[in-house]
Chains A and B, each alone.
Chain A
Amino acid sequence: MTVELTIDGKKITTSEDKTILEAARENGIYIPTLCYHSKLSPIGSCRLCVVEIEGVEHPMASCTTPVAPNIVVTTKSEKLDKIRRDALKLMLVNHPLDCPICDAGGECDLQNMVFQFGIDQVEYKANKVEREEIPFSTPLIRHWPNRCILCGRCVWACREITGNNVLEIAEKGYDSHIEAIYPEKCLSCGECLSVCPVGALTDNLSPIKARKWQAKRTLTTCNHCSVGCQLEINTFEDKLINITTKESEGTNNGSLCVKGRFGHDYIHSEERLKQALIRKREDLIPTDIDEAISFAAKKIGEIKEKYGSDAFAGVGSVHLSNEENYIFQRFVRSVIGTNNIDSLASLIFEPLSEALIPVLGMGLMTNPLNDLLLSDVAIVIGTDLDGNHQIVANKLRWAAYHNDLKPVIVDPREISLSKGFANVWMRPKPSTDTVWINGLIREIISRGLEDKDFIKKHTKGFESLKKFVEQFTPEKVEEITGIDQKDLKDAAQLFGEAKAGAIIFGSGIIGQNDSVSAIRSLGHLALITGNLGKRGGGLYPILPRCNTQGAWDMGLNPLYFPGYQPVTDDGAIKRFKKLWGLPIKNEKGLSLVDIFLKASEGKIKAMIIMGENPLVTFPDSSLVKKAIENLEFLVVIDSFLTETAELADIVIPGVTFAEKDGTFTSCERRIQRVRAGLKPLGESMADWEIIAKISEMMGHPMNFSTPKDIFDEIAKVTPCYGNITYEQLDEKGGAWCYLGKTPRLFEDGFPGGKANFLTDDIKLPQKKENKEFPISLTVGGNFYNYLIGSKTKRAKGLALVYPDNFVLINDEDADKKGIKDGDMVVIKTENGELSLPARVNSNIIPGVAHLKISFNDIDVGKLFKADKAIVPYKIVNASIEKA
């Protein structure tokens, strides 16, 4: 429905759900505001946006007044000006004029308004209220109560964007103030900080401050998780001051999580490598970087000569740029001449590809994350979104608030989304996901809620699926998984009826036993409900690190050249041979697990590890240790002296994401630019330069002078990145890769014509009593130390809010063993043991324990064993005893 109205003599047509303010802004009519924020629902506290409406006695706040047909609105008049000036003056009665020492000085909305209205003195005399300083909910944000103008934006942001309701305006009148009422729920995301119009909330991390006009703001892509948030690094005199973000940039649209906003101070850590290190006898001695590079080149040449190129392996990184990973695989494939190259991305993509490619033709996130805003139902499985990918959780909350999205949360642990937010919360036993997913499919089919048209038009083999899922009755599902029958039925009804249903799953599914069967079943679930190639539907595998997708795309794996061209394909070999000018091996290389297995047997002699710390991040640290000990020569390129680098023969200092250019590909397949805001520290250089130099020293110059040159070559040889230019990435804020380059996959059908239901390979969990190791220990990343181990320990701000690791145990299990909250416990698995403090409560189901990974000092990796291609890196059988 449209409405016609007149604002300032201008006839305006707009939709009826708009407010007067929105209608005016759309048409370029300026109304001053202070408390209004486009991301929040109207607050109506500042009274600056008042307008006069003909026939209405008093002026109305335009931000809260909806449009009505044929009203005549005036936005500028003497009366309104007086009201606005008075409103500002009343704010100034209590607002201290400490602009010179206020962080917001120069970008303060109140300052701007006062300047705009030309207020140079306040005639109101009143006793200033001195509000006492009370602790804020997080140490990362400083609260200046006297500067607060009580606009309420922070309260609204905490309620509507993060959904945590930590803040509230307490008391009334002169005593009213912002108070952190439930500080224990605070995620430290800093949403309140970013919406504060004045300097009442300031960044408490860096003691060095810079004004808006002094700081250089560089728009770049966050290097923590895979969501690919766009953020601005604010630098001054080559130092990082703080992180800000911009609305309308990237999928995060002005929001950030605690890691993005406060987790980048590691860039200036004391422990950063400034010089190359070379092993002389037992010690690593600082040396000149050129010398280190030429020594590395010489030594690699010698080893290649002596043992052949297959005695060599390369491990790339899931948090380096596409360009770096591309040049690395080019170096390993052409200059060294082996396909023994891999990265941690394979731990994720091996199961994803194996499960989904036969079914759908592609094992990727199918829809952009913003589609979640349009979903009716979202099933979230095995991922603590608030803890790890808060921006995704924010989207779900937005949809629940504005769009009535109904979340179904599946997690044995109690996470912040499960209670109070979820419509249905199912708590399956670990590694039984295949059973309940198929139970859900059966329930949907038996209720006749499947999308019959879609199945007929786009799929094959539905009958066999129907027959296969017959066995998964709700009773059986309850028996095996422990999920209440009613919950399963409710979930089936919700998801079956949904117009658009999204399935979000994380490492809880990808990293478990029988992950392929579970993921494939999820594919079936999306297919029978017709939720593919559709707005608001889709499969959303949530990847861990910033460039997991890019590393896989760039051919950091033993089977494919960049863009999934098999290494055994003659045409591809010919093309790459011509481009790279060197012979290329025509056989599959070793996968990451095999690389370490072979190295531990002494069959791999040399390795380059670029930007990765497998001793902490690979799920079998004892294997990695043994492998590295048996190497003859190890080069590590990293910005820190990591645990792995300590064992290397040569360590070459790389740079962090803030010091280099390039691109990351986010989990939603969006290629986005990384831009340098700082100069490289000391002698360190970008990893691509190091690889190019080694190659040059070995007699094969690569002729790249900037990352742009590398990207141009990528665009030329990688089909899914084809026709994308660097300029395009700069202008449009990113580009989508894959399938016709639309953000949504399968909109024009499936690659093979039809999708397949494949039930033959679905394995069911074997019920085994494990007497010795009765507890299923699940591990997970965490917001604050999330899988980047070495970095966040050096991020001092994050260490403040999440200092230590612990193991979460159910209280019943703990009672049996006499373990109390805070006791030290010993965790034993077949492969190793570990001792750390326990936290005992009922947030987790009996028989399961949970542990965070990537705290460097606690080597969780040694609990795991890696001996096959698909490593269940998320779950292991263990016993827990009191220490």
Chain B
Amino acid sequence: MIVLPLLKGLKLTLKRFLNPFSIITIQYPEKKREVSPRWRGIHYFAKDEKGETKCVACGLCQAVCPSNVITIEAAEEPGGTRYPKRFLINLTRCIFCGFCEEVCPKDAIKLGRNYEFVNYKRSDFILNKEDLLNYDLVKP
């Protein structure tokens, strides 16, 4: 009674073990995993024609963020347009839910496909406006 299911399991193990085409381990970092198009990685800012951020600092992402990751200071230019004077994302607390991307009325903030983000200091995990526009850093 006990032996039969055990053997059944062992059969599957042996099948995988002996078949070289079913190996799913990737030799990271030499090889990298291809992520799904819906992958939610490190944030970045979409740019407008001038290369500036599309963000108008409406504050919706800050309001929707479940882990209070985003800090925005909005400023108005004399012409009436707005921009984020300061925009901070604290990656150490981010849960990558993607709500900010979803709520953004200007499609300004996006979650890229980059999942490799290492630093020596915790403070480097706080991305500011310039970082989010620096595609060499955030690698969307």
By a beta-carbon cutoff of 8 Å, the part of chain A in contact with chain B is 99-101, 105-106, 142, 144, 207-211, 213-214, 236-237
Whether A100 pairs with B106 at a CB distance below 8 angstroms is: yes
Are A236 and B105 CB-contacts (below 8 A) given A100-B60, A101-B81, A213-B63? Answer: no
A237→B76 CA distance, assembly (Å): 16
Whether B63 pairs with A211 at a CB distance below 8 angstroms is: yes
What are 19 contact pairs spanning A and B, CB under 8 A? A99-B58, A99-B105, A100-B105, A100-B106, A101-B57, A105-B58, A105-B59, A142-B80, A144-B80, A207-B76, A208-B85, A209-B75, A209-B76, A210-B59, A210-B73, A211-B63, A213-B63, A237-B71, A237-B73
Residue of A nearest to B71 (CB): A237
The answer to whether the Cβ of B82 comes within 8 Å of any Cβ in the partner chain is yes
Instruction: Return the contact of B74 from the options A99, A144, A208 (Cβ within 8 A).
Output: A208
> What is the number of contacts between chain A and chain B, taking CB atoms within 8 Å?
47
- For residue A96, give the distance in angstroms from its CB to the closest CB of chain B: 12
- For residue B71, give the distance in angstroms from its CB to the closest CB of chain A: 8
- For residue B72, give the distance in angstroms from its CB to the closest CB of chain A: 8
A236→B59 CA distance, assembly (Å): 13
A99→B76 CA distance, assembly (Å): 14
Instruction: Return the contact of A101 from the options B58, B73, B85 (Cβ within 8 A).
Output: B58
Inter-chain contacts of B62 with A (CB < 8 A): 214
A157→B69 CA distance, assembly (Å): 41
The answer to whether the Cβ of B56 comes within 8 Å of any Cβ in the partner chain is yes
5 closest Cβ pairs, A-B complex: A100-B58, A209-B74, A211-B59, A101-B82, A101-B56
Residue of B nearest to A203 (CB): B76
Are A209 and B82 CB-contacts (below 8 A) given A100-B106, A101-B58, A237-B73? Answer: yes
Residue of B nearest to A105 (CB): B58
Inter-chain contacts of B58 with A (CB < 8 A): 99-101, 105, 211
Interface string of B64-86 (1 = CB under 8 A from A): 00000001111111001110010
Whether A208 pairs with B73 at a CB distance below 8 angstroms is: yes
Total interface residues in chain B, CB < 8 Å: 20
- For residue B25, give the distance in angstroms from its CB to the closest CB of chain A: 46
Inter-chain contacts of B106 with A (CB < 8 A): 100
- For residue A397, give the distance in angstroms from its CB to the closest CB of chain B: 33
Residue of B nearest to A206 (CB): B76
A106→B60 CA distance, assembly (Å): 10
A106→B62 CA distance, assembly (Å): 13
- For residue A124, give the distance in angstroms from its CB to the closest CB of chain B: 22
Inter-chain contacts of A210 with B (CB < 8 A): 59, 73-74
Whether B59 pairs with A208 at a CB distance below 8 angstroms is: no
Inter-chain contacts of B59 with A (CB < 8 A): 105-106, 210-211, 213-214
Inter-chain contacts of A207 with B (CB < 8 A): 75-77
Whether B56 pairs with A100 at a CB distance below 8 angstroms is: yes
- For residue A127, give the distance in angstroms from its CB to the closest CB of chain B: 23
Inter-chain contacts of A106 with B (CB < 8 A): 59
Residue of A nearest to B86 (CB): A237
Inter-chain contacts of A236 with B (CB < 8 A): 73
Q: A100-B58, A208-B76, A210-B74 are in contact. List 16 more A-B contacts (CB 8 A).
A: A100-B56, A100-B60, A100-B105, A100-B106, A101-B57, A101-B58, A144-B80, A207-B77, A208-B75, A209-B74, A209-B75, A209-B82, A210-B59, A211-B63, A213-B63, A236-B73
Residue of B nearest to A142 (CB): B80
Inter-chain contacts of B85 with A (CB < 8 A): 208
Inter-chain contacts of A237 with B (CB < 8 A): 71, 73
Inter-chain contacts of A211 with B (CB < 8 A): 58-59, 63, 74
Residue of B56, B60, B80, B81 most packed against chain A (CB within 10 A): B80
A142→B85 CA distance, assembly (Å): 20
- For residue A99, give the distance in angstroms from its CB to the closest CB of chain B: 7
Inter-chain contacts of A144 with B (CB < 8 A): 80
- For residue B9, give the distance in angstroms from its CB to the closest CB of chain A: 53
Residue of A nearest to B105 (CB): A100
Residue of A nearest to B82 (CB): A101
Residue of B nearest to A212 (CB): B59
Interface string of B100-113 (1 = CB under 8 A from A): 00000110000000
A216→B71 CA distance, assembly (Å): 14
Inter-chain contacts of B56 with A (CB < 8 A): 100-101
Those of B11-57 within 8 Å (CB) of chain A: 56-57
A257→B71 CA distance, assembly (Å): 33
A214→B105 CA distance, assembly (Å): 18
Residue of A nearest to B62 (CB): A214
Residue of B nearest to A144 (CB): B80
- For residue B113, give the distance in angstroms from its CB to the closest CB of chain A: 26
Inter-chain contacts of B57 with A (CB < 8 A): 101, 209
Residue of B nearest to A106 (CB): B59
A210→B71 CA distance, assembly (Å): 11
A99→B57 CA distance, assembly (Å): 11
Inter-chain contacts of B63 with A (CB < 8 A): 211, 213
A756→B113 CA distance, assembly (Å): 88
A318→B80 CA distance, assembly (Å): 40
- For residue A268, give the distance in angstroms from its CB to the closest CB of chain B: 14
Residue of B nearest to A133 (CB): B80
A343→B60 CA distance, assembly (Å): 50
Residue of A101, A211, A213, A214 most packed against chain B (CB within 10 A): A101
Inter-chain contacts of A208 with B (CB < 8 A): 73-76, 85
Residue of B nearest to A97 (CB): B105
Inter-chain contacts of A101 with B (CB < 8 A): 56-58, 80-82
Inter-chain contacts of A99 with B (CB < 8 A): 58, 105
A213→B81 CA distance, assembly (Å): 21
Inter-chain contacts of A100 with B (CB < 8 A): 56, 58, 60, 82, 105-106
A236→B74 CA distance, assembly (Å): 10
A575→B73 CA distance, assembly (Å): 54
Residue of A144, A209, A213 most packed against chain B (CB within 10 A): A209
Inter-chain contacts of A209 with B (CB < 8 A): 57, 74-76, 82
A105→B56 CA distance, assembly (Å): 13
- For residue A114, give the distance in angstroms from its CB to the closest CB of chain B: 15
Residue of A nearest to B78 (CB): A207
Inter-chain contacts of B72 with A (CB < 8 A): 214
A142→B77 CA distance, assembly (Å): 12
A209→B62 CA distance, assembly (Å): 14
Inter-chain contacts of B82 with A (CB < 8 A): 100-101, 209
- For residue A103, give the distance in angstroms from its CB to the closest CB of chain B: 8
Inter-chain contacts of B77 with A (CB < 8 A): 207
Residue of A nearest to B74 (CB): A209
- For residue A371, give the distance in angstroms from its CB to the closest CB of chain B: 42
A213→B63 CA distance, assembly (Å): 8
- For residue B102, give the distance in angstroms from its CB to the closest CB of chain A: 15
Residue of B nearest to A213 (CB): B63
A208→B74 CA distance, assembly (Å): 6
- For residue A686, give the distance in angstroms from its CB to the closest CB of chain B: 27
- For residue A234, give the distance in angstroms from its CB to the closest CB of chain B: 13
- For residue B13, give the distance in angstroms from its CB to the closest CB of chain A: 54
Inter-chain contacts of B76 with A (CB < 8 A): 207-209
Inter-chain contacts of B73 with A (CB < 8 A): 208, 210, 236-237
Inter-chain contacts of B60 with A (CB < 8 A): 100
Residue of B nearest to A214 (CB): B59
Inter-chain contacts of B71 with A (CB < 8 A): 237
A236→B72 CA distance, assembly (Å): 10
- For residue B44, give the distance in angstroms from its CB to the closest CB of chain A: 19
A105→B60 CA distance, assembly (Å): 10
- For residue B103, give the distance in angstroms from its CB to the closest CB of chain A: 10
Residue of B nearest to A204 (CB): B76
A144→B80 CA distance, assembly (Å): 9
- For residue A688, give the distance in angstroms from its CB to the closest CB of chain B: 32
A213→B106 CA distance, assembly (Å): 20
A879→B7 CA distance, assembly (Å): 117
Those of B92-123 within 8 Å (CB) of chain A: 105-106
Inter-chain contacts of B75 with A (CB < 8 A): 207-209
A434→B69 CA distance, assembly (Å): 69
A207→B77 CA distance, assembly (Å): 7
Inter-chain contacts of A214 with B (CB < 8 A): 59, 62, 72
Inter-chain contacts of B74 with A (CB < 8 A): 208-211
A106→B81 CA distance, assembly (Å): 18
